[in-house]
Amino acid sequence: MTLTDSPPDVFHLSREAAAERDRVDPLASCRDLFLLPADVLYFDGNSLGPLTRAARERVREVTERQWGEDLVRSWNLHGWIDLPRRVAAKIAPLVGAAADEIAVTDSTSVNLFKLLAAALALRPERRVILSETAQFPTDLYMIQGLAELLDGRCEPRLVEPEGLLEALDDDVAAVCLSHVRYKDSTLLDMAAVNRAARGRGALTVWDLSHSAGALAVDLEGCGADFAVGCGYKFLNGGPGAPAFVYVARRHQEAARTPLAGWLGHEDPFLFDLDYRPAPGVERFLCGTPPVIALAALDAALDAFAGVDLAALRAKSVALGDLFLELLRRRCPQVGIACPEDGRRRGSHLALSHPEGYAVVQALVARGVVCDFRPPDVMRFGLAPLYLRYADVWDAAAALADVLETRAWDDPRFRRRGKVI
Amino acid sequence: MTLTDSPPDVFHLSREAAAERDRVDPLASCRDLFLLPADVLYFDGNSLGPLTRAARERVREVTERQWGEDLVRSWNLHGWIDLPRRVAAKIAPLVGAAADEIAVTDSTSVNLFKLLAAALALRPERRVILSETAQFPTDLYMIQGLAELLDGRCEPRLVEPEGLLEALDDDVAAVCLSHVRYKDSTLLDMAAVNRAARGRGALTVWDLSHSAGALAVDLEGCGADFAVGCGYKFLNGGPGAPAFVYVARRHQEAARTPLAGWLGHEDPFLFDLDYRPAPGVERFLCGTPPVIALAALDAALDAFAGVDLAALRAKSVALGDLFLELLRRRCPQVGIACPEDGRRRGSHLALSHPEGYAVVQALVARGVVCDFRPPDVMRFGLAPLYLRYADVWDAAAALADVLETRAWDDPRFRRRGKVI
């Protein structure tokens, strides 16, 4: 993509200044770990992180050499059976957990079900699972599915975000929230919610899908009880990568998973008739793990090796601040639907425009890949490991151009039907 | 592997006769679809099916070109979102179902949980889930996990196989059985069990892990209600491949899944706050699917295109009969722990020997890959798509040699620790 530089209002908003920030960026070299197409500016790492060189090699190795040549012997020879544990140890430091508080398994949705059921069982005298309307829908559906199954033993309580703390009463067994909201990118104050929940005797179940890998989550430090997270967004594990669960050590002995699969058994290869949960968080493993996908995630996580999470977060905020400042000047018709204060924002921007759907399609057609969420939100993911300040500048310029030239007003772009 | 031909007792048991059967085998050309190492005789397709050329290419394509270059756009561009449906359409004819009775998703264990909960809800006045001690442990654990979650609403009833029909009383909501037992390879009479269950008002939930892809399952024809199956055994989908569920059409409107994930929603991309199940079996989809693994399974299933399932089954039985007849003559010290009548046997053999663990390790060290299940069972998977009669002859000869020479009596082979 080439874009002519518009005369800057002020120097620090020029493309030249953006390029200079890239030159001194301490994370700049991380970009080389990724295989990004030359003609794409990728602002959708919040939906699907890109392929790393390491993941490409590992997928080949695991598929072609391990599965292909060593076949079933690879469970032992190549340690497939230990893969969930190895991946857990890489995710743990990104979310402020110990390695033995993380289990890598199943999907975010399935894992949420396990944890909600576990939390409810730890509060036998309470029935309510509290969440907010800004929560990602699958999380709400899992609560609803559990409630339907438990028929009266579980009651979903869904409130507008501003009413959450008020709705946190003594009937609440668990509060289920996203650390960063999927649509408007609000970063919740996890410590404050944990404190409030604990004060009312409730447990917290966090969804880290939009924060893990984008900022330093501090689960232990701020007293979270349970969490799930997604492997294919900022962790770059590949489409539909396995997800993870976090169970604080203080709950591990008592917490039970209803999805009592054999790999969560104390001794799976005894083939015993009775389920006995594995000690610790590994009881939250379930069926046979998807080895190729796990291996891709394992390799992708090496992109975080040695990365200072404070620097990662600082860059994420700076990329967002730059994008917003450019938009304020060049695209006043675009609404800012995410927090303007970087400290309260996750690692994606949410912008609103009545023709947001078509605008996103027009941008994607130009190689600026971002996404749309109904009714009018355009999301731009800002993954600090591979995005450059100059990319942000170019994306803002492309957005300005699409709006100025009404490039979005084209039947190709207005026709609905794209699913993701 | 080269083995000198022992003088045959009778011609039809000679290696030459076995090789002749391979020359006229109508399925012989299927072997070329698989990438089998030259130094391996692979008798563990009942645990992990081998890599096909097609799966190797698809994994590369999906990882490197689709994920790597087209990134998130691949959900639309390459139809990732439709992959579960495409794979379902390929599995359906193998199990006697219509394409819209199959959903491909999650693991066998997780899917079993969904179906057990669905079946229980369809029989609100009943509490018992009946199974047998020969069932694969993860299935039993999922029943136990559901029972613990439902606290009195669900009661596991576990009986010895011979007591099953007697235990099928009016309290039974669902009977959960394996079509082919994992350890002793008994092929159950699915139609008879379905009839008996229906006669008592109970539903059936079949685990097809050891039958799908090895013989013509006829779910619809014999009146099954629900089923799950495994993608990585005889379907060759790769380690930890996605599993599938079957829901007979007559139950689809009423059956509800407790794992109400967004991809089972009527309109996932509406991001609605309320769960409304998708019509039909697709409500049993849950979270974001593991795309690379699904694509591998999709490609692997093409090995069944045009295959006559009656011929597949006939060859499976013939391979097993040959193996058993050779063993009866050459290894009388080996116990036959599976049905000797091929019509009552699945597609693997179960042989017993007090030193079975070490014997299996000694065979694996010679490139005859089979597996062990406690306390003393050696399993030999007979996948008719790629195994040859001569392979069976060679494996029997290797087993005879290991036993005659006591090659198993070696500390390397007796040391426990292999997990799968």
Model pLDDT for residues B101-121, shown as the tens digit of each residue: 999 999 999 999 999 999 999
Q: Which residues of A are catalytic?
A: 136, 207, 232-233, 379
- Inter-chain touch A63–B47, beta carbons under 8 Å: no
A-contacting residues of B 182-201, CB under 8 Å?
Answer: 183
Same domain, A131 and A159: yes
User: B133: which residues sit within 8 A by CB, 6+ positions away?
Assistant: A273, B158, B159, B160, B161
Same domain, A133 and A259: yes
Same domain, B231 and B317: no
Where a domain ends, among B248, B275, B304? B304
Residues A373, A180: Cα–Cα separation, whole Å: 15
- Inter-chain touch A292–B59, beta carbons under 8 Å: yes
Residues B243, A194: Cα–Cα separation, whole Å: 37
Same domain, B316 and B271: no
**B277 in a structural domain:** yes
Q: Where are the alpha helices (DSSP H) in B26-107?
A: 53-60, 74-77, 83-95
Out of B37, B270, B287, closest to residue A110 by CB: B287
Same domain, A87 and A140: yes
Encode chain A (420 residues) as per-residue pLDDT tens digits. Answer: 334 445 456 788 999 999 999 999 999 999 999 999 999 999 999 999 999 999 999 999 999 999 999 999 999 999 999 999 999 999 999 999 999 999 999 999 999 999 999 999 999 999 999 999 999 999 999 999 999 999 999 999 999 999 999 999 999 999 999 999 999 999 999 999 999 999 999 999 999 999 999 999 999 999 999 999 999 999 999 999 999 999 999 999 999 999 999 999 999 999 999 999 999 999 999 999 999 999 999 999 999 999 999 999 999 999 999 999 999 999 999 999 999 999 999 999 999 999 999 999 999 999 999 999 999 999 999 999 999 999 999 999 999 999 999 999 999 999 887 666
Q: The domain spanning residue A263 has which CATH number?
A: 3.40.640.10
In the block, tokens 């759907």 appear at A357
Confidence band, pLDDT 50/70/90 cuts, at residue B4: very low
CB A190 within 8 A of CB A145: no
- Give the whole-number percent of chain B exceeding pLDDT 90: 95
Same domain, A155 and A248: yes
Residue B142 half-sphere exposure toward CB, CA atoms < 13 A: 28
| Residue A3 pLDDT | 44
Same domain, B175 and B285: yes
Model pLDDT for residues B275-304, shown as the tens digit of each residue: 999 999 999 999 999 999 999 999 999 999
Is A239 an 8 Å CB contact of chain B?
A: yes
CB B196 within 8 A of CB B169: no
| Residues B80-94: b if buried by 16+ CB within 10 A, e if exposed | bbebbbebbbbbbbb
Amino acid (1-letter code) at residue B407: A
Verdict on whether the full-model pTM lies above 0.95: yes
Query: Which residues in chain B are contacts of A56 at CB distance < 8 A?
Result: 63-64, 68
CB B202 within 8 A of CB B126: yes
Q: Measured between alpha carbons, how far apart are the two ends of chain B, in Å?
A: 24
Same domain, A169 and A70: yes
C-alpha distance from residue A321 to each of A13, A326, A339, A348 (Å): 11, 9, 10, 11
Residues B389, B14: Cα–Cα separation, whole Å: 11
**A4 in a structural domain:** no
Concatenated DSSP letters of B373-399: ETTTEEEEE--TTT--HHHHHHHHHHH
Residue A204 half-sphere exposure toward CB, CA atoms < 13 A: 29
Same domain, B225 and B182: yes
Q: Is the pLDDT of residue B384 over 60?
A: yes
Structure tokens at A118: 């576990």
**Is B136 one of the catalytic residues?**
yes
**B420 in a structural domain:** no
Same domain, B259 and B373: no
Our count of domains for chain A comes to 2
- Inter-chain touch B149–A117, beta carbons under 8 Å: yes
Q: The domain spanning residue A23 has which CATH number?
A: 3.90.1150.10
Where a domain ends, among A271, A304, A337? A304
| Residue B333 pLDDT | 93
| Residue A9 pLDDT | 60
**A42 in a structural domain:** no
**B173 in a structural domain:** yes
CA distance A97 to chain B (A): 24
**B130 in a structural domain:** yes
- Inter-chain touch A373–B271, beta carbons under 8 Å: yes
Structure tokens at B391: 């392979």
Model pLDDT for residues B21-58, shown as the tens digit of each residue: 999 999 999 999 999 999 999 999 999 999 999 999 99
User: B244: which residues sit within 8 A by CB, 6+ positions away?
Assistant: B87, B88, B91, B102, B103, B104, B105, B111, B212, B228, B229, B231
| Residue B420 pLDDT | 66
B-contacting residues of A 329-358, CB under 8 Å?
Answer: none
Span of A289-293, A305-309, B5-9, B90-94 with lowest mean pLDDT: B5-9
CB A151 within 8 A of CB A180: no
Confidence band, pLDDT 50/70/90 cuts, at residue B182: very high
A403: containing domain? 11-33+308-414
- Inter-chain touch A242–B290, beta carbons under 8 Å: yes
Where a domain ends, among B304, B332, B358? B304
Out of A107, A136, A291, closest to residue B239 by CB: A291
- Inter-chain touch A290–B106, beta carbons under 8 Å: no
Residues A45, B42: Cα–Cα separation, whole Å: 41
Same domain, A180 and A289: yes
Same domain, A193 and A233: yes
Residues B214, B94: Cα–Cα separation, whole Å: 9
In the block, tokens 């743990």 appear at A92
**A28 in a structural domain:** yes
In the block, tokens 């000679």 appear at B14
Q: Is the pLDDT of residue B2 over 50?
A: no
**B50 in a structural domain:** no
Amino acid (1-letter code) at residue A203: L
Model pLDDT for residues B215-246, shown as the tens digit of each residue: 999 999 999 999 999 999 999 999 999 999 99
Model pLDDT for residues B239-254, shown as the tens digit of each residue: 999 999 999 999 999 9
